[in-house]
Amino acid sequence: MKSFYFGGQFQFRYKDYSEENIAKDYRSRILGDYRLWLNKGKNLAIEFNDKAAYIGPYYFGDYKSSRYIVNTESDSIFYSTDCFFVLSNESAPGTITEIIQAVFYGKDIHIFYVRKDIPTEEVDTDIKSDLWYPITFAMQNSQHIEVHGYDTYEEAADACVERFKELTK
């Protein structure tokens, strides 16, 4: 059975949590019901079918122990077979760390990012994103990786959801 981890920033500030905001997150579309990942730290696999399970992350809500959150999400990446990432151009230190961890653990990596013009005087890169460094690192060091750029976050999230559905038919 394949197990899937779905990284990337929330599109709202953690302090602005609401069921409405969490329901809009692409992981809620993956799971089909936002309440499934409101486990507040319970690290459980949610089976989609006999071929696939959601392994993380979970939204921790009011539980704010950074040590516990990092350990739980790190374990989820370790036990996953595939790691999906939907990336905006916002600073995302946790997500960057998750990408690097997925590379080191040899996971199949699927990156869907929002394109942005990067001045060539800054860096010469085919990855048009502020997160060009971790994406390029993953491309250079992963044996199983796919990387796709999109014009908007919504397009990247839609493509991620569709790719996941293709892999779990």
**CA neighbor of 76 nearest in space, from 161, 4, 167, 163:** 4
The predicted pLDDT at position 39 comes to: 63
Which of 13-27, 71-85, 141-155 shows the lowest per-residue confidence on average (mean pLDDT)? 13-27
Predicted pLDDT at 51: 87
Mean pLDDT of 45-55: 89
Domain regions of the chain by residue span: 2-167
The residue that leads in pLDDT, 96 or 122, is: 96
* CATH class (in words) of the domain with range 2-167: alpha beta
Between residues 94 and 43, the one the model is more confident about: 94
User: Three-class SS of residue 137?
Assistant: helix
Between CA 17 and CA 15 the distance in angstroms is 6
**Chain segment 74-116, per-residue pLDDT in tens:** 999 999 999 999 999 887 889 999 999 999 999 999 999 999 9
Instruction: Write the DSSP string, 118-133.
Output: --TTT---S--STTHH
Amino acid at residue number 6:
F
Q: What is the pLDDT of residues 26-40, one digit of tens each?
A: 999 999 988 887 765
* Predicted local distance difference test score (pLDDT) of residue 160: 98
Q: How confident is the model at residue 3 (pLDDT cuts 50, 70, 90)?
A: very high
